[in-house]
Structure 1
């Protein structure tokens, strides 16, 4: 693959650098304010007095990653809108997480979500579950970091290894010195950039093909609009049933019992505040997937007469969004940088969340038991 990398202007580098510096600065701020991260309660749980809206946005940002932006857009381009039905499962499962799971963790007042397993099934079960979570986090983090690194390589020629190192260092820096307070605040900042990145794609698509109606009409004419395929055929890529079942289980595994999200609930002063945070977070997730889906349709409309994959300009569907950014935003200094900053923000929010949670389970599940 060879894109014209001259489209990445110095202003784009400046926008990306500003995002990284600001994120690091938030960590420094929380290191030297409040309790200065000197207690486990403050470092891992934010003194249990965090506000509802920032935590709600943090729940969303830590759930979504750069994969959501690039992958969902490519999914709409290649296969259509059926995948967006997964949002219905999120809405249906929100009250299940709120009223069946969150109260259990508040009753325990646990830092580690796996403390429940020890009380119910014994120490061995808790350790095994915690170990599996730790392993999953390490693998998942690698995937999350690769996605924005690939995008930056496409746009600038910067090596994937260097991009991963840069993002990893910034993320570990502010997560380590600022604790979960810094992670939550940076999540809010980075969530704004994530939405900005998606709107960059949509606006560029509208510039190429006109109104929202035109984009929708092109997608509909080419068979990309489908929402309620009720077929029981298990060989079909997406159906209403597979998305409801798979999406519901995914949502509950993340928002009901996952350490990353449970730890955010426990930063709240009471169970009602935690429930409010999740109720607010779910619409943010749904809206983000919806606009990301439309971004994919915008790219489809822009390339409706000349598919870059069949023409051989790119080989992988993961390269669709970077190609579109190069060709549509490159002439506007700073916009390509804003898009990349949004992609990196999505990665940072997910990685910082898992890093902080991994610290929590390491202390609570591995270290503390050695001294008890």
Structure 2
């Protein structure tokens, strides 16, 4: 590629310095392990929401999204159709359990519901899965630096780790959230600059380009094939990946921990709801970008598809563009790495070190150990990052495939806890073991695609856990306190208000903005259908997209209005029946 140049280095260097300074400033206020993990409970919900969005929209999306859709077309978006459904469930069920019970590690719920062994099992699953995910993010970022500078990828991996580690160690979750806010603006600025440049730089009129893309099968986003070996079908996206992403967002310490830093239950829910309303559009931009690159490069082969954006930016010739893109991808990666380091350290201290080794130490001691574990995990993820360096496929697909082995067990351990009456800890853990064996067999002996691993794991886990629980412990006479029905009964028994500031604090109750998520889901399906259906008729397509856009904007405005309204007094004292 072309020489990186002074201007690009200045842009990239300025971003890195700004991030480190912000971490240092925030770090001066952190004096305890609780502050390191949850801040001072004064971070605004919109900042937390932006951080939630950015954490999962990492370099996996900026690089891997276009690389994947360059091969598969717009159908890749099917994997991301489910976010409104996922957030609907998380806000209604997961958040009240975690925030309402004042948990630092969300896996403490497992001990309260089932027992110590299930807590340790799920904590260990999280640490292993998150280490692999962080390694993939780390590799993707290091690849950028190697492409730009020519520095060997091994050294780049170490450099990127050090940058993310420094400000995370200093500032904890507050530094993670506020640096994510800055990183969000850089990330999306870079994405829109690229998509605007590609759109306007096509070798033919856009109407002709879209017709050709449709003829090549690149614009059909809603594949209805029942073939389970296909990854990007509607059924995989709506059924299998709904379970997958429910675990990623609801049963994942990295995602939930920042919501636990909110001022109130309402703020925690609003932060998570932001993801439900905007995720589809964010992923649509990155996936559409890959389709446009397919048209721009006429589908030519790349040695490594993850570098398509970088090739384009280096060829485009706009002064400073390569620096903006490099900073954007680095920002995307940092928003995931800092969250991972902080959450893995929190789980290590709360679920292992403090729980079993040093239960009666001071806050200063636990803060010190939180920082020690942050450093330790940052060093450990370097090893699998080097393993990812041998991959030439989409890093987004590689990461998703690796995560699919774990999500079935995690999904069941939470959802069975929320709703089951008869499942016991022994039965649950037997089910977890059975699900891993089943997924391993399916992976090596069949051609079933990875999104369905979660469904298979959930079915096997649930059936085996139920049968084993009945065989070992018999039927339980009462619902456990830490089930949905158990919590609702406890609120009624204690005559506690089920709403606070207009938001439900008891699990299983649906807040008004959640219904808007169902509208968003329907709109996204209709939008994708219409784009492909009307692509041959430009005026009709434009009017159709405008109509869908109006409906989507109305949904967003409804969510915003509800978030900022003044709650009525009687809402705060509404009681359970």
Which of 188, 192, 208 aligns to 2:185? It is 192
Instruction: Supply the distance in 2 between the matched residues of 1:240 and 1:125 (Cα, whole angstroms).
Output: 33
Which of 58, 62, 78 aligns to 1:69? It is 62
Q: Secondary structure at the match of 1:68?
A: helix
**Cα contact 1:155–1:326 (8 A) shared by 2:** no
CA distance 1:213–1:102, change in 2 (3 Å):
farther
Instruction: Supply the distance in 2 between the matched residues of 1:214 and 1:203 (Cα, whole angstroms).
Output: 18
Instruction: Supply the distance in 2 between the matched residues of 1:212 and 1:111 (Cα, whole angstroms).
Output: 51
Matched, 1:316 2:308: no
Instruction: Supply the distance in 1 between the matched residues of 2:67 and 2:353 (Cα, whole angstroms).
Output: 43
Partner of 1:251: 245
**Cα contact 1:5–1:154 (8 A) shared by 2:** no
Deviating above 3 A after TM superposition, structure 1's stretches of 4 or more consecutive aligned residues are 210-218
CA distance 1:235–1:191, change in 2 (3 Å):
same
- Alpha-carbon distance, 1:334 to partner: 1.0
Partner of 2:198: 205
Q: Secondary structure at the match of 2:81?
A: helix
Matched, 1:332 2:325: no
Which of 23, 27, 33 aligns to 1:27? It is 23
- Alpha-carbon distance, 1:205 to partner: 0.8
CA distance 1:323–1:272, change in 2 (3 Å):
same
Matched, 1:346 2:342: no
**Cα contact 1:23–1:186 (8 A) shared by 2:** yes
Q: CA RMSD in A?
A: 1.7
Instruction: Supply the distance in 2 between the matched residues of 1:26 and 1:259 (Cα, whole angstroms).
Output: 24
Matched, 1:236 2:219: no
Q: Which has the higher mean CA deviation after the structures are superposed, 346-355 or 162-171?
A: 162-171
Q: Which has the higher mean CA deviation after the structures are superposed, 193-202 or 11-20?
A: 193-202
TM-score calculated relative to the size of structure 1 = 0.91
Instruction: Supply the distance in 2 between the matched residues of 1:122 and 1:212 (Cα, whole angstroms).
Output: 59
**Cα contact 2:78–2:232 (8 A) shared by 1:** no
Partner of 1:15: 11
Q: How many residues align?
A: 357
Partner of 2:130: 137
**Cα contact 2:176–2:339 (8 A) shared by 1:** yes
Aligned pairs for 1:235-314 (under 5 A) are 235-304=229-298, 307-309=299-301, 314=302
Q: Which has the larger radius of gyration?
A: 2
Q: Which has the higher mean CA deviation after the structures are superposed, 155-164 or 60-69?
A: 155-164
Instruction: Supply the distance in 2 between the matched residues of 1:193 and 1:216 (Cα, whole angstroms).
Output: 29
**Cα contact 2:19–2:167 (8 A) shared by 1:** yes
Q: Secondary structure at the match of 1:48?
A: coil
- Looking at both structures, which has the greater relative contact order when contacts are Cα pairs under 8 Å and sequence separation is at least 6? 1
Q: Secondary structure at the match of 1:62?
A: helix
Q: Deviations over 1:14-41 (max 9, x none)?
A: 1111111111111011123xxx200223
- Alpha-carbon distance, 1:220 to partner: 2.1
Matched, 1:159 2:147: no
- Alpha-carbon distance, 1:215 to partner: 4.7
**Cα contact 2:23–2:167 (8 A) shared by 1:** yes
Q: Which has the higher mean CA deviation after the structures are superposed, 283-292 or 214-223?
A: 214-223
Instruction: Supply the distance in 2 between the matched residues of 1:23 and 1:247 (Cα, whole angstroms).
Output: 34
Instruction: Supply the distance in 2 between the matched residues of 1:287 and 1:21 (Cα, whole angstroms).
Output: 30
Q: Secondary structure at the match of 1:80?
A: helix
Instruction: Supply the distance in 1 between the matched residues of 2:60 and 2:215 (Cα, whole angstroms).
Output: 28
Partner of 2:73: 80
Partner of 1:38: 31
Matched, 1:100 2:93: yes
Partner of 1:364: 350
Instruction: Supply the distance in 2 between the matched residues of 1:55 and 1:212 (Cα, whole angstroms).
Output: 38
**Cα contact 1:63–1:254 (8 A) shared by 2:** no
Instruction: Supply the distance in 2 between the matched residues of 1:216 and 1:193 (Cα, whole angstroms).
Output: 29
Q: Deviations over 1:201-235 (max 9, x none)?
A: 21221232177655534422332001222121112
Instruction: Supply the distance in 2 between the matched residues of 1:303 and 1:178 (Cα, whole angstroms).
Output: 44
Q: Secondary structure at the match of 1:74?
A: helix
- Alpha-carbon distance, 1:245 to partner: 2.1
Instruction: Supply the distance in 2 between the matched residues of 1:271 and 1:215 (Cα, whole angstroms).
Output: 48
Q: Secondary structure at the match of 1:47?
A: coil
Q: Which has the higher mean CA deviation after the structures are superposed, 143-152 or 349-358?
A: 143-152
Q: Secondary structure at the match of 2:21?
A: helix
**Cα contact 1:41–1:48 (8 A) shared by 2:** no
Q: Deviations over 1:162-186 (max 9, x none)?
A: 2222211111110011111111000
